[in-house]
Amino acid sequence: MTVIKHMKTKILALAMLCLLSIGSFAQSDLISGKVTDRWGEPVPGALISLVSNPEVRVSTDAYGNFAIGAAVGDQLAIVTRELETTRAEVVDQNDLEVVIDYASKPVNLGFGISQRMAESTGSVSTTSSEEINRSSALSLSNSLYGNALGLTSMQNGGAVWEDYADFSIRGLKTLSNNNVLVLVDGFERSIGTLSREEVESVSILKDAAAVALYGFRGINGVVSVTTKRGRYNSMDIDVSYDHAFTTPLRLPDFANGYTYASAYNEALENDGQPAKYNSYEMDAFQDGTAPFLYPNVDWVNETLKDKGYSNIYNVGIRGGGSKMRYYTLLNLEGNDGFIKDTETNDGYSTQMKYSKANIRTNLDVDLSEKTKAEVNLLGIIAEHNRPGRIHGTLMDNLYTLPSAAYPIKTYDGIWGGNETWTTTNPVAGVQNTGYARSHARSLFADVKLTQDLDLITDGLSGAFRIGYDNYAEFWEGKTRGYQYASDRLGFNNGIPVDTIRTAGGESSDLSFSRSLGTQNRHFNFAANLDYETSFTNSELFTSLIYSQERIVYNGQHNTYNRQNLAGYAHYTMHNKYIADLALVVSGSNRLAPNHKYGFSPTLSAAWVISNESFMQGVSAVDFLKLRASAGMINSDYIPAVNLWEQSYDGGSSYPFTDGFNSYGGIREGRLPTRDFKLERAFKYNLGLDAVLYRGLTITADGYFERRSNIFVPESGQNSAVLGASSAYVNAGIVDSRGIEIGIDYEKIKGDLSYFVGAKYTLTKNEIVEQLEAPRAYDYLKTTGQPVNQLFGLQAIGFFIDEAEIANSPVQQFSAVKPGDIKYKDQNEDGFINEFDVVPMGYNTAVPEAYFSFELGFEYKGLGFDALFQGAANYSALLNTKSVYRPLVDNTTISNHYYDNRWTPENVFAKYPRLTTESNDNNFRNNSIWIADASFLKLRTIELYYKVPKSVLENLRLKSAKLYVRGMDLFSIDGIDISDPEVIGVSYPTSKSINIGVAIGL
Amino acid sequence: MKIKNLIIGLCGLTLLSNCSEMMDYNEIVSYDKEDIFESFNRTESFVTNIYGQLDYDFGNYGNGAMLASATDESEFAWSISNIHDFYNGAWSPINSISSTWSNSYAAIRAANLFLFEAKDQTFDEFQNNKDYFEQMEKFNRYQYEVRFLRAYFYFNLVREYGNVPLVTTVLTEAEANSVSQSPAEDVISFIADECDAIVNHLPVSYSSLNFAETGRVTRASVLALKARTLLYAASPLLNPSQDVAKWRAAATANKAVLDSCAEYGISLGNYTALWGTENYKAGEVIFARQVGDLNELERNNFPVGVEGGRSGNTPTQTLVDAYEMKATGLAWDEPGSGFNPSKPYEGRDPRFAMTVAKNGDTGWPNYNSRALETFTGGVNGAPISGATPTGYYLKKYLDATVDLRPNSTNSKRHSWITFRLGEFYLNYAEAVFQTLGSADATDATFTLSAREAVNKIRQRSDVQMPELPLGLSNEEFEARYMNERMVELAFEGHRFWDVRRWKQGELFSEVTLMKLSQNPDTEEITYTRVIREREWSDKMYFSPIPDQEIRKNNNLVQNPGWN
């Protein structure tokens, strides 16, 4: 037997139960043994059961010892608390030695199929709850940076409740949809609101062999989350508390009033316009004596503070009796944001606050010896609070409003505001626009029944599972308006004569509104029939899996019905040669009639070299396996609904009556796709798993993927004389290739343990075909380049004077002046225009290289660990308003730009001259604004103390850990003034110092 | 497929849902071809969409710029607009600015599709409907309306690009990618022939029909399209040999418009009636492109410094200079004109005050309680971003009753005048002048002289400018005519094309702006004329065909100078 059913892997029991069951097996004797890990350390709490009768089970004691009633020749199954599995044959009655090694690690393929690492033929990496919980992230999604080999996890900005990481696996592989499938306990579910504590492991499924069973959905790779389950005859209570002191990471730094005014005058002068601020006004800004007329407001510091906090409370109870097991969790999270002065109103706060409760129960009930039931329930109640002016707008205000615009309040207490910047006062936005709240509820629920079908034939079993998830969000808002005003001096011959007041807006009372936000529901059904049998020296497991799902999101064309029928066979010979075959037929309602189904075959194989006899003498090699897989995976992605039909849809209207009542128009829609095909991936993977010197683990994968039949619009080929929108055609082809290497060294020796590890992923891709429009020059083609490759002009400095402009190629974007960017004439035609752009940098979404390294040690309970994570071959587009696009469109200017601007005195500047005009020449993609966004971040660093056993016993505790952690404490990168992963107008990302305690009862 | 059958079987077993129903689930609500052309209502909607493609210019270019700002009529106040690309060297096949090419062919395809699909529909299903015959009457007229629209879009194409593909069928991709251009002359003949073929099938007016409607193509519209097309065909750009026969054809066609208008009761009225909510009903309007309620035009053109106004298309001094002195009928800089440099706007052609808002004007727009200050440092003047660079703001086409204040914002009905009688008096004058060789000449056919035709315009009730005198030399008349055309049709979308068809592009190589400065003590205004240069090149007589079009179809030839 090579495949252990998911259910069975979870079985743990105490010796007592075993002793009770011994009676029914009269011939058996008591066999004693010991379970150790690869360093020879005892493994406590491992469950030993008889393969022929799983009801006979015992567990190891604190020294790894066990005794079980069995006969010589019986097979024992061993499962550790970490779900590592192995087998052992009873040779004689005493001193059976069982080693739990790397090969015993679990690989979860989903649909109840879990394999030992030794037997897996797919490319799967797994991160455990221990690794995840070195992070103090509020969401599971933000705890995976650098933790899982092959998962590129990138941070997002925004409020805590929006700030979930973006995942990709093996880079950008297609021109259409690169989203990975995220599963929680086998069903597609959001992990944004999942807590770290409820997770047992996260597996990254990468190659065809790993994703085959998921049909249409697995084409871009799968992130599969497994939650914790109970254990037989035990009870563990975990209580933990984590408090974070949060600080914004790299807030923008904008010019003060005087600098802004100087910059504005300089920009006007550059534009050939008269100054806006006269010398009287400049002096007033400089000496600051008339703050109501000539203000200098640091809006960022007036609106944001540099301290927030988070709390995470967690109670988990994990255990079970002899017939049932449970895991139940209550997890509470709270976060208080960075907004200043939020308590100025009676009765409500305008702080950015987030609170969430996760309540989970995972139950396993053994209804009979042959029938098992599983019930998983997770309820999440989340709430957030924000100022009436939504944080996106508030941040936009901060990135727009100059210090010199107006005071926070006028001298007589009215909120600042004027004609140009009307209701953009961010302090008023916090204090005087009311507040808004969201209440979100989600339910993840499923039930599973497993039946042993030995009665029909030996080795047959079946299961089915039904799940229903629901999510709904409600909004309520109480908003109000405010009156604004500002004063300015009127001048006569440069001498102030009077003050002129501008006023606007209206003060109003709170007005209530509410609405339903997003809601979705998700129905799942899965059933499988498994059969396992063994022959001489070989074993076969087969499974027939049927699943279907229905996902309904808000709005039209947002219902997804899918079906999947998979036949899976897993064959092992001599424990050395392993082959997997998956034949999958998938159906989807998104696809064209007569093309509703796709067939995906995958074949994979592995060779466990370390089990060969010629390797037995090689003591350095504990485990060595080569893997290879090839498969064809389809997708049901379509770029537009019903694109195979000629549709007629709403066109322009026209008023034909005297009252100008509009008549609706109808027009011919996009031309239909005539030869409909499914987007398809051919995936090839070669991999190696090795354990050397009892602690050095190496995983390496190399892959190639050809994505074909990608839907691309034919418009690149069609003349506009056609007069219709072009059809989508299955003509796109993208090739991608890459490597993933993970190296870990881990050692436990008595009181000392330590680990070091590194992970490195490199992906490259190339668009082979996309029906690109004809280009004047080959270097303009995006075909042949990676997906989302940036293109830009090559800046070769700034124009020094009019003479240089006159003697240079004509730059055709807009009239140029000294201080404007001078570009390289790539085609040497004497003009600088769209024909002079060249590929530059990489893309802004998914870095090509993603890597991490970690280290840690523990001695007598005192420990330390750290995780660094970085990315390279990654670009940023520097186009943030005010920061890199100053003054234009009534924005302000960052000190960074001001200090690096071109002036006649500083001709070797970093950035072009100041201007108040939209400058098409300067503000377009070019080598100045396409920046290297590579970074290396210290994701977590932790110092902890585990209270020694002797003390714990007095306290009647099983474990206790105290820690201090740093999250995202620093980043080394070339961007410097903002988070390299979050460039743009965004609520700030944060770094934090956390203190915490975790106690086991 | 066996496996598929197995799936279906398994679905049946699970009894959870009907398998094929689940896979066929679709929320599609769009129509297929039969749904459209077998229904009166949807066929009508299909035609409506073609009408909806008719152009109007309440700010078609970036930030609300009108094509007028690419001419010497106007300067756009915001540097951010792509309207400046027409004259700053950025105009090229890869930055073709205009979308006439793609928009016109989209509309032409819709027209061709309608003419093909709807040809023989009888709507038998509806035969027993009470209004079947009325509906059929309407339906039978659509084909002529659509043919007019198609001809109109071809006029837009030939005016802008010269030689263009002449497509009268629904093209496949392969056909579209290999079509060749027809000579401009053939396109013009096509338009003229189509007009001749359909003119008698369209009513003089829709108001008396069973379905009283407005905004549809009338008989006069067809005559107007033909007349304007032939005027362009006779003009130097498309008639380089100056074949007088073409001028005669143009004169004849424009005379037909004047005669028909007289017959149909279309006559000149007030100049100010040409805009505002009721302009589509104005006495001289032949065809108005009805649009609807909007305030973007006002938002984009009301002065900055007026709440809600963000400025935009500002009339140039070049245009202001075109307004003659009312008392003498002379240009401001002509000796004896009566021009007073200290009161430069007094005694001008009344159309000046109707078209242009100037410093000191009050009540512009209605809700503005302050007088306009367009001088440097003024409430509506530089250096405020977006303040007028010319010293003036636009009034024509704007509705002064539009209110942009946050608490009383409103929108007003707008219609764009496509054809009006005034234009055709001028067209006629130009064509007759060229045909007969002098301003005062008449013959048996053309009993109205060119000079008299121009004077009709000058004599309209709220203008009352002195008549052009008898005995003008040809050069004098030509200059006066062109000036009159600039004044009369300002901001109506003509100047850009008129200057091109006259092959006088050099006129666009500079514009004059006015800088106003105020003496703070005396509040006296000093006027300084500022010349702003613009790039003109003769290749600009025709627009560049978008670069991609030439690359996708090897049979297309780029217009001269744009390669």
Other Cβ atoms closer than 10 A to B70: 27
Q: Tell me the C-alpha distance between A977 and A251, whole Å.
A: 8
B179 interaction partners in chain A (CB closer than 8 Å): 719, 721
In this predicted structure, the answer to whether residue A446 has a pLDDT above a threshold of 70 is yes
Interface of B with A in 396-435 (CB under 8 A): 406-407, 413
Residue of B nearest to A562 (CA): B23
Three-state secondary structure of A286-300: HHCCCCCCCCCCCHH
In this predicted structure, the answer to whether residue A560 has a pLDDT above a threshold of 80 is yes
Query: One-letter amino acid identity for B167?
Result: V
Beta bridge partners of A856: A755, A865
- How many CA atoms lie less than 13 Å away from A155 in the CB half-sphere? 30
Residues with Cβ within 8 Å of A99's Cβ and at least 6 positions away in sequence, in order, are A35, A36, A37, A38, A86
For residue A402, what are its two tokens?
A: 């100059």
Interface of A with B in 565-604 (CB under 8 A): 565, 583, 585, 587-589, 593, 596-597, 599
Other Cβ atoms closer than 10 A to A1000: 16
Peptide linkage before B365 cis (omega within 30 of 0): yes
Q: Inter-chain contact A664–B32, Cβ cutoff 8 Å?
A: no
CB-nearest partner of B173 from A419, A653, A718: A718
Mutate to test the interface with A, among B552, B554, B555, B556 (most CBs of A within 10 A): B552
Which helix or strand (DSSP H or E) is residue A336 part of? strand A324-336
Conformation bin of residue B176: beta by default, left when phi > 0, alpha when psi is -120 to 50: alpha
Interface of B with A in 366-395 (CB under 8 A): 376-377, 382-383, 385
A814 interaction partners in chain B (CB closer than 8 Å): 79, 84, 88, 90
| CB distance A33 to A65 below 8 Å | yes
Q: Tell me the C-alpha distance between A891 and A897, whole Å.
A: 13
For residue B154, what are its two tokens?
A: 């071809």
Buried-state track A440-465, b at ≥16 Cβ within 10 A, e below 16 = bebebebebbbbbeeeeeebbbbbbb
Q: Inter-chain contact A814–B79, Cβ cutoff 8 Å?
A: yes
DSSP string, B230-280: HHHHHSTTT-TT--HHHHHHHHHHHHHHHHHHHHHT-----GGGGSSTTGG
Going by DSSP bridges, is the β-strand pair A324-336/A971-973 parallel, antiparallel, or unpaired? unpaired
Peptide linkage before B383 cis (omega within 30 of 0): yes
Q: Tell me the C-alpha distance between A494 and A565, whole Å.
A: 83
Q: Is B21 on the interface with A (CB under 8 A)?
A: no
Q: Is A662 in a helix, a strand, or coil?
A: strand
Interface of A with B in 75-134 (CB under 8 A): none
Q: Is B10 on the interface with A (CB under 8 A)?
A: yes
| CB distance B134 to B472 below 8 Å | no
Q: What is the pLDDT of residues A155-193, one digit of tens each?
A: 988 899 988 999 999 999 999 999 999 999 999 998 988
Q: What is the pLDDT of residues A411-425, one digit of tens each?
A: 999 999 987 888 899
- Give the model's confidence band at A19: pLDDT under 50 very low, under 70 low, under 90 confident, else very high: very low
Predicted local distance difference test score (pLDDT) of residue A42: 85
Beta bridge partners of B103: none
Residue of A nearest to B78 (CA): A917
- Give the model's confidence band at A578: pLDDT under 50 very low, under 70 low, under 90 confident, else very high: very high
For A472-493, what is the mean pLDDT?
89
Q: What is the side-by-side order of every strand in the sheet holding A124-128?
A: A124-128, A199-205, A222-227, A181-184, A187-188
Q: Tell me the C-alpha distance between A185 and A193, whole Å.
A: 15
A585 interaction partners in chain B (CB closer than 8 Å): 3-4, 7
For residue A644, what are its two tokens?
A: 């195979």
* pLDDT top residue among A944 and B210: A944
Predicted local distance difference test score (pLDDT) of residue A216: 93
In 3D space, the residue among A42, A62, A55 whose CA is nearest the CA of residue A13 turns out to be A55
Predicted local distance difference test score (pLDDT) of residue A28: 65
Kindly give the parts of chain B with pLDDT less than 50. Answer: 1-2, 8, 12, 15-17
| CB distance A952 to A940 below 8 Å | no
Which helix or strand (DSSP H or E) is residue A528 part of? strand A511-535
- How many CA atoms lie less than 13 Å away from B241 in the CB half-sphere? 4
| CB distance B49 to A666 below 8 Å | yes
Other Cβ atoms closer than 10 A to B521: 8
CB-nearest partner of B4 from A597, A645, A726: A597
Predicted local distance difference test score (pLDDT) of residue B16: 45
Beta bridge partners of B182: B164
Q: Tell me the C-alpha distance between A968 and A756, whole Å.
A: 19
Q: Is A420 on the interface with B (CB under 8 A)?
A: yes
For A608-615, what is the mean pLDDT?
92
- Average per-residue pLDDT in chain A? 91
CB-nearest partner of B89 from A556, A561, A810: A810
Mutate to test the interface with A, among B8, B113, B173, B207 (most CBs of A within 10 A): B173
Separation in Å, CA A856 to CA A148, A745, A853, A929, A960? 17, 11, 11, 39, 19
**Closest chain A C-alpha to B530 CA, distance in angstroms:** 13
Mutate to test the interface with A, among B5, B20, B42, B45 (most CBs of A within 10 A): B45
Q: Tell me the C-alpha distance between B421 and B271, whole Å.
A: 12
Predicted local distance difference test score (pLDDT) of residue A7: 36
Q: Is A693 on the interface with B (CB under 8 A)?
A: no
**Closest chain A C-alpha to B400 CA, distance in angstroms:** 20
Phi, psi of B221 (to 5 degrees): -60, -40
Q: Tell me the C-alpha distance between A845 and A652, whole Å.
A: 36
- Give the model's confidence band at A13: pLDDT under 50 very low, under 70 low, under 90 confident, else very high: very low
Give how far the C-alpha of residue B496 lies from the chain's centroid of Cα atoms, to the nearest Å: 10
Predicted local distance difference test score (pLDDT) of residue A16: 36
DSSP string, A793-826: E-EEEE--SHHHHHTS-EE-SS---TTSEEE--T
**Closest chain A C-alpha to B449 CA, distance in angstroms:** 37
In 3D space, the residue among A636, A661, A671, A485 whose CA is nearest the CA of residue A562 turns out to be A636
Predicted local distance difference test score (pLDDT) of residue A61: 85
Q: Tell me the C-alpha distance between B174 and B183, whole Å.
A: 22
Q: Tell me the C-alpha distance between B296 and B283, whole Å.
A: 26
| Neighbour-count burial of B441, counting CB atoms closer than 10 A to its CB (0-12 exposed, 13-18 middle, 19+ buried) | middle
What pTM was computed for the model? 0.88
Conformation bin of residue A750: beta by default, left when phi > 0, alpha when psi is -120 to 50: left
Beta bridge partners of A561: A550
Q: Tell me the C-alpha distance between A770 and A707, whole Å.
A: 12
Q: Is A751 on the interface with B (CB under 8 A)?
A: no
Q: Is B32 on the interface with A (CB under 8 A)?
A: yes
**No. of helices (H) and no. of strands (E), chain B:** 18, 8
Q: Inter-chain contact A561–B179, Cβ cutoff 8 Å?
A: no
For residue B232, what are its two tokens?
A: 């362009």
Q: Is B133 on the interface with A (CB under 8 A)?
A: no
DSSP string, A400-416: T--TTS--SB-TTSPEE
Other Cβ atoms closer than 10 A to B310: 19
Q: Inter-chain contact B90–A663, Cβ cutoff 8 Å?
A: no
| CB distance A368 to A447 below 8 Å | no
Predicted local distance difference test score (pLDDT) of residue A575: 87
Q: Tell me the C-alpha distance between A434 and A869, whole Å.
A: 40
Other Cβ atoms closer than 10 A to A189: 22
For A620-630, what is the mean pLDDT?
94
Interface A-B, measured as beta-carbon pairs within 8 A, has a size of: 252
B418 interaction partners in chain A (CB closer than 8 Å): none
Residues with Cβ within 8 Å of A368's Cβ and at least 6 positions away in sequence, in order, are none
